[in-house]
Amino acid sequence: METASSMLAVSVGTGGAIFVGFALFWFVRVYLKKRTAAGPASSVKPPTPLRAASWEEKRSQPRLAVSWHAAFTGHRGSSPAQLKDISLGGAFVACANPLPLSERFLITMDLPGRGPLELKAEVLWSNIHVPADRVIHRGMGIRFIDNTEENRKIWSEAVAAALRSPAVA
């Protein structure tokens, strides 16, 4: 009888040890899985900016920050706008409703000390689909196209004047 009871005790003890081993293994596995899913704090990377460099790399002219009044006329009619940065080849136009990509339109800019200048332009990019909390100024990037030599000269002189005296911009 003693042998049967000692065998029973050894069997229960062994079964209990195996059960505790499986339970411990399961808890450790779940804990490690949760920990590795979150990742260590040192591996958290800061958010990367929107690919700002992608369009800057394509620019052939340096930009100059300004704040000039403008208006553009597209297929939806005329809209007020403001030039926020300019170059010889284009500008960023801050406006409530940017035009669609590749649309060609007329933009009239109020040049400081010179008056209005009307140029033909084309939309290169727009931030219309970027969430409002990620946009500083809603608008579009444009390039000037098919303008007369006289209008290109006037624009070039206005940009040069703004470079010489940024306080006017």
Q: Are residues 70 and 32 in the same domain?
A: no
In which domain, by residue range, is 127 found? 55-164
Q: Are residues 35 and 59 in the same domain?
A: no
Q: Are residues 85 and 18 in the same domain?
A: no
Q: Are residues 15 and 83 in the same domain?
A: no
- CATH number of the domain at 136, please: 2.40.10.220
Bridge partners of 125, per DSSP, are 141
pLDDT category at 96 given cuts 50, 70, 90 is: very high
Q: Are residues 91 and 124 in the same domain?
A: yes
Q: Residue 169 domain-assigned?
A: no
**Total number of domains constituting the chain:** 2
Q: What digits encode the pLDDT tens for the residues 103-162?
A: 999 999 999 989 999 999 999 999 999 998 898 899 999 999 999 999 999 999 999 999
Q: 117: buried, middle or exposed (CB in 10 Å: 19+, 13-18, 0-12)?
A: middle
